[in-house]
């Protein structure tokens, strides 16, 4: 960051410095600041496709999908063989629920580069939204074959296998994800849910405990741990987790359901806990 700040102090019209600083800010999760830097870069070099694709991605991450599409439309028009422009527009269109257009964009990205793992993963998500579970898994298998040691790729395939009730296969992916990154909270949470489904309650609780310790505001993990505590008869612990999850995501119907069940269990006169 300091390097780019210094460069911009010397030459505020250096578009590449605005671009570089934007990337650093985005890596720190400062997407709004990154967009502001890319606005300057775009004003200085309006034909730069990298600037447009990055700004489109950051707009998407900020939830401004219309702005994302506008940038990515420009990028595709400027460079019709830029794989990231197509893939990023596909991701933004998916966010808008435009599933057919999203799929077409991601298909095009993969025509340009059949080994583009990010596009495969995004297309798998679109296929999931379209209810195309077999095709979703085909894309995920392809992605894992290309990048077997990428944590989030392993974890996402595990999630698809878990959704298909193929929990033993899912566990293999989660195990590998945790080997690759022992601090990856999502892998512990997902493995905990698969173990819960398989009746391996002690292991499931241990995994969910780790997930919450790594990410205390992980509402999804808290919800599942609350459900597991209910299953084990630990009503007080269930209610505490459900209340915390509900505070984090007050509009989530699944969290509301487990909270309601925990509240009812806590109010029963025959409660022995």
Residue 268 has pLDDT above 90, yes or no: no
As a whole number of angstroms, the distance between CA 57 and CA 65 comes to 9
Q: Into how many domains does the chain fold?
A: 1
- 110 contacts 123 by C-beta, under 8 angstroms: yes
Residue 247 lies inside a defined structural domain of this protein: yes
Backbone phi and psi for residue 91, each to the nearest 5 degrees, phi listed first = -65, -40
Q: Is 46 helix (H, G, I), strand (E, B) or coil?
A: coil
Domain span holding position 247: 216-273
Residue 145 has pLDDT above 70, yes or no: yes
State the pLDDT at residue 10: 84
Answer yes or no: pTM beyond 0.85.
yes
Residue 86 lies inside a defined structural domain of this protein: no
Residue 270 lies inside a defined structural domain of this protein: yes
Residue 224 lies inside a defined structural domain of this protein: yes
Mean pLDDT across the stretch 103-131? 98
Residue 5 has pLDDT above 80, yes or no: no
Residue 55 lies inside a defined structural domain of this protein: no
Residue 65 lies inside a defined structural domain of this protein: no
Q: How big is the CA angle at 33 (ends 26 and 123), to the nearest 5 degrees?
A: 40
Residues 6+ apart with CB under 8 A from 82: 49, 53, 75, 76
Tens of pLDDT, residues 29-88: 999 999 999 999 999 999 999 999 999 999 999 999 999 999 999 999 999 999 999 999
């Amino acid at each position: 960051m300091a390097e780019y700040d210094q460069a911009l102090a010397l030459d505020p019209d250096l578009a590449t410095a605005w671009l570089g600083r934007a990337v650093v800010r985005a890596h720190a999760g400062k997407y709004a600041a990154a967009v502001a830097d890319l606005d300057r870069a775009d004003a200085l070099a309006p034909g730069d496709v990298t600037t447009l694709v990055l700004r489109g991605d950051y707009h998407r991450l900020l939830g401004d999908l219309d702005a994302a599409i506008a940038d990515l439309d420009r990028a595709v028009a400027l460079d019709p063989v830029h794989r990231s422009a197509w893939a990023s527009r596909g991701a933004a269109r998916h966010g808008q629920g435009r599933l057919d257009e999203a799929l077409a964009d991601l298909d095009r990205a993969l025509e340009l580069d059949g080994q583009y793992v990010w596009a495969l993963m995004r297309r798998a998500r679109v296929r999931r939204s379209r209810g195309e579970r077999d095709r979703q898994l085909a894309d995920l298998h392809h992605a894992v074959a290309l990048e077997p040691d990428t944590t989030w790729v392993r974890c996402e395939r595990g999630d698809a296998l878990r959704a298909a009730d193929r929990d033993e296969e899912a566990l293999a992916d989660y195990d590998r994800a945790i080997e690759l990154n022992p601090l990856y909270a999502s892998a512990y949470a997902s493995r905990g849910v698969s173990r819960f489904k398989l009746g391996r309650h002690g292991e499931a609780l241990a995994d969910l405990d780790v997930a919450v310790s790594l990410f205390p505001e992980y509402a999804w993990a808290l919800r599942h741990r609350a459900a597991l505590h209910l299953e084990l008869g630990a009503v007080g612990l269930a209610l505490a987790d459900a209340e915390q999850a509900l505070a984090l995501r007050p509009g989530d119907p699944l969290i509301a359901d487990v909270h309601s069940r925990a509240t009812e269990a806590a109010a029963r006169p025959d409660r022995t806990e």
